[in-house]
């Protein structure tokens, strides 16, 4: 059913820390690996060793440069995947009912057996979160690793999305953003987490945490006083040596 | 947006076909017998041909029947329902006219309503998308409806109606272009809101996620299309409106009428190519493109 639920019991999603992400693309690779071997059709590649290689990815990392009015520019690595929007425009446009948003946890999924591959959901998504697999002809998107997070055959520490489990920097967090007391909600509150393209009215569940502002060149280090020269003028033996050496012709001033 | 030939053929031909079906449906003295057969054959060839063409871009055309199920929320599904309803109802209406010489006017009216509904729902597939600011306007359904009704009037030989509607459609087309050129910048969406980093400074895409273009870039970023956009607009405008209007205003002649129709079809196809090729999808912003 492509009618969106009025509310969901939980709002599972990701919190992505742009301050911590180092842009290593490990989340991209682990996502591709897990989702090629598990839920639904594998994520195909076209010409992987040829010219213009292309493939289906559910998560991609962009890199941006932010140039403030004054001061040096800042580099921000920017992972982007499905934001599991509360008002997901991709779901309502689907003509077959293949796309749906789950009432129990808010995850947006595609039933690939019903998908006709018309591509309209990808047109409706402002974030580029949906990609039509060129080999299978069906729409692929992030499942929030629905086949990991409820999978009791996995060790408990692995029952989180593959990208979160893999991130070596700890820049990705998974949890219930509908519960104000959850770790992820607290993190969003304390760090000023924000939405992407809020003007689209999609109400994304995933949040982004801002990178901290870059240090200024003019900032004084707390340690600066300790780094001052200890003795401005030599005394004792060094004072005699200084004066004697000055008397020898040919020296610098 | 990538201008897929299947979608351009579909919107061009089906628009004309359903426009013609509308006029045949509301005609108080519709053509019967062999003349009726010719008119309905042309209308069905255009409408059904266009619909079949649209299935070519599907990843799984064999599952297309599923697309009738989600009419509660999906304009694409509503379009499918309207199209099938129009074709079935007008099929009975046409058969009665052709074989029995009977005019079942009520069926004509209902079918005509579904024919217009098909064009409207098609236009809303595009007009609903906030992700393509150039399309997200009531002018988009106005554009599709005036084009379809004007083309249908032209095909059905209603000279005066065609002239009036062509003038209307030309005005809508100019207004649509005029608004469209400012739509993305006036939408307020830019790389700053896309990344949420806009308040910190000017955001620039430094590195794409991958070294070569992906599905999103091929589908949503079609920069090539804009190089000759202005020239193509002039060509589309002349072929769709100016030439057919001149040919309709000179004393009637079957060759001129046929030329007017052909010119109009070529012009609409050109306009529809621009409709897609010029449209900017906001996802391009993430790639520093538009």
Q: Considering CB atoms only, which of A63, A67, A197 is closest to B189?
A: A197
Q: Considering CB atoms only, which of A55, A95, A139 is closest to B67?
A: A95
Decide if A213 and B200 are in contact by the 8 Å CB cutoff: yes
In the prediction, which pLDDT does A238 show? 86
Name the minimum distance, in Å, from the CA of A241 to any CA of chain B.
Answer: 56
Which residues in chain A are closer than 8 Å to B202, comparing Cβ atoms? 66-67
How large is the average pLDDT for residues A165-189? Answer: 97
* Strand A54-55 versus strand A45-46 pairing type: antiparallel
The whole domain housing A50 covers 12-209
- d(CA A1, CA A91) in angstroms, rounded, equals 9
Name the minimum distance, in Å, from the CA of B1 to any CA of chain A.
Answer: 9
Q: Which residue of B has its CA nearest to A198?
A: B193
Decide if A118 and B281 are in contact by the 8 Å CB cutoff: no
Q: Which residue of A has its CA nearest to B191?
A: A197
Q: How many CB atoms lie within 10 A of CB B107?
A: 18
Name the minimum distance, in Å, from the CA of B130 to any CA of chain A.
Answer: 7
Q: Which CATH number does the domain housing residue B271 bear? A: 1.20.1630.10
- Position A20 in a domain: yes
Name the minimum distance, in Å, from the CA of B41 to any CA of chain A.
Answer: 28
Q: Considering CB atoms only, which of A25, A53, A94 is closest to B70?
A: A94
How large is the average pLDDT for residues A187-214? Answer: 95
- Position A239 in a domain: no
Decide if A64 and B128 are in contact by the 8 Å CB cutoff: no
- Position A134 in a domain: yes
How many domains does chain A contain in total? 1
Taking each helix axis from N to C end, the angle separating B5-26 and B139-155, rounded to the nearest 10 degrees, works out to 60
A48-68 as b/e: b if 16+ CB within 10 A? eeeeeebbbbbbbbbbbbbee
List per-residue pLDDT tens for chain B, 290 residues long: 988 888 999 999 999 999 999 999 999 999 999 999 999 999 999 999 989 888 888 889 889 889 999 999 999 999 999 999 999 999 999 999 999 999 999 999 999 999 999 999 999 999 999 999 999 999 999 999 999 999 999 999 999 999 999 999 999 999 999 999 999 999 999 999 999 999 999 999 999 999 999 999 999 988 777 788 899 999 999 999 999 999 999 887 888 999 999 999 999 999 999 999 999 999 999 999 87
Name the minimum distance, in Å, from the CA of A179 to any CA of chain B.
Answer: 23
Q: What global pTM score does this model have? A: 0.90
How confident is residue A224, by pLDDT bands cut at 50, 70 and 90?
Answer: confident
How confident is residue A95, by pLDDT bands cut at 50, 70 and 90?
Answer: very high
How far from each other are the two terminal CA atoms of chain A, in whole angstroms?
87
In the prediction, which pLDDT does A228 show? 77
How many domains does chain B contain in total? 1
Mutate to test the interface with A, among B286, B288, B289, B290 (most CBs of A within 10 A): B286
Q: pLDDT tens across B105-131, in order?
A: 999 999 999 999 999 999 999 999 999
Decide if B63 and A69 are in contact by the 8 Å CB cutoff: no
The whole domain housing B245 covers 5-287
- Position A59 in a domain: yes
In the prediction, which pLDDT does A1 show? 66
- d(CA B86, CA B44) in angstroms, rounded, equals 11
Q: Considering CB atoms only, which of B67, B202, B209 is closest to A60?
A: B209
Residue with tokens 């489990």: A165
Q: How many CB atoms lie within 10 A of CB A245?
A: 9
B25 — alpha (psi -120 to 50), left (phi > 0) or beta? alpha
Q: Considering CB atoms only, which of A1, A74, A138 is closest to B59?
A: A138
Q: Which CATH number does the domain housing residue A108 bear? A: 3.30.70.20
In the prediction, which pLDDT does A251 show? 63
- d(CA A111, CA A109) in angstroms, rounded, equals 7
- Position A21 in a domain: yes
- Position A230 in a domain: no
In the prediction, which pLDDT does A217 show? 65
């Amino acid at each position: 059913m492509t009618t969106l639920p009025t509310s969901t019991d939980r709002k599972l999603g990701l919190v992505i820390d742009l301050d911590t992400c180092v842009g290593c693309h490990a989340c991209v690779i682990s996502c591709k690996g897990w989702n090629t071997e598990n839920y639904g059709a594998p994520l195909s590649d076209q010409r992987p060793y040829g010219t213009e290689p292309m493939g289906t990815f559910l998560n991609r990392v962009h890199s941006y440069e932010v140039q403030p009015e004054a001061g040096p520019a800042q580099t921000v690595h920017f992972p982007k995947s499905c934001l599991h929007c509360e008002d997901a425009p991709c779901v309502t446009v689907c003509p077959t009912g293949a796309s749906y948003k789950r009432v129990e946890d808010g995850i947006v999924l595609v039933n690939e057996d019903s998908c006709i591959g018309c591509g309209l959901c990808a047109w409706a998504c402002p974030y580029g979160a949906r990609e039509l697999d060129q080999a299978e002809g069906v729409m692929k998107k992030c499942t929030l690793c629905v086949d990991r997070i409820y999978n009791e055959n996995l060790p408990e520490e692995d029952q989180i999305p593959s990208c979160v489990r893999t991130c070596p920097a700890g820049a990705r967090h998974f949890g219930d953003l509908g519960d104000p007391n959850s770790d992820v909600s607290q993190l969003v509150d304390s760090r000023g987490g924000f939405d992407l393209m809020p003007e689209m009215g999609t109400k994304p569940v995933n949040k982004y945490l801002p990178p901290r502002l870059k240090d200024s060149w003019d900032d004084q280090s707390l340690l600066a006083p300790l780094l001052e020269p200890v003795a401005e003028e030599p005394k004792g033996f060094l004072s005699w040596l200084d004066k004697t050496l000055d008397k020898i012709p040919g020296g610098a001033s | 947006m990538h201008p897929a030939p299947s979608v351009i053929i579909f919107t061009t031909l089906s628009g004309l076909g359903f426009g013609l079906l509308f006029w045949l449906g509301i005609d108080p003295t519709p053509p019967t017998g062999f003349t009726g057969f010719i008119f309905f054959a042309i209308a069905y060839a255009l409408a059904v041909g266009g619909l079949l063409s649209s299935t070519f871009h599907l990843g799984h055309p064999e599952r297309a029947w599923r697309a009738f199920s989600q009419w509660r929320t999906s304009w694409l599904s509503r379009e499918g329902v309207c199209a099938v309803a129009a074709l079935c109802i007008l099929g009975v209406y046409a058969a009665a006219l052709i074989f029995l010489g009977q005019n079942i006017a009520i069926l004509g009216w209902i079918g005509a309503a579904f024919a217009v509904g098909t064009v409207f729902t098609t236009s809303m597939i595009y007009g609903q998308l906030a992700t393509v600011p150039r399309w997200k306007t009531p002018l988009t359904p106005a554009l599709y409806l005036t084009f379809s009704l004007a083309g249908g009037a032209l095909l059905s030989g209603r000279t005066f109606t065609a002239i009036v509607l062509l003038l209307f459609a030309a005005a809508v087309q100019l207004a649509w272009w005029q608004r469209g050129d400012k739509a993305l910048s006036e939408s307020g969406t830019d790389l700053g809101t896309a990344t949420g980093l806009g308040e910190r400074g000017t955001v620039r895409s430094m590195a794409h996620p991958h070294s070569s273009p992906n599905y999103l870039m091929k589908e949503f970023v079609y920069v090539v299309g804009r190089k000759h956009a202005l020239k193509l607009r002039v060509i589309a405008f002349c072929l769709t409106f100016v030439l057919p209007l001149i040919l309709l205003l000179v004393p009637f002649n079957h060759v001129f009428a046929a030329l007017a129709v052909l010119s109009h079809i070529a012009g609409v196809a050109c306009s529809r190519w621009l409709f897609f090729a010029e449209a900017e999808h906001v996802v391009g912003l993430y790639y520093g493109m538009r």
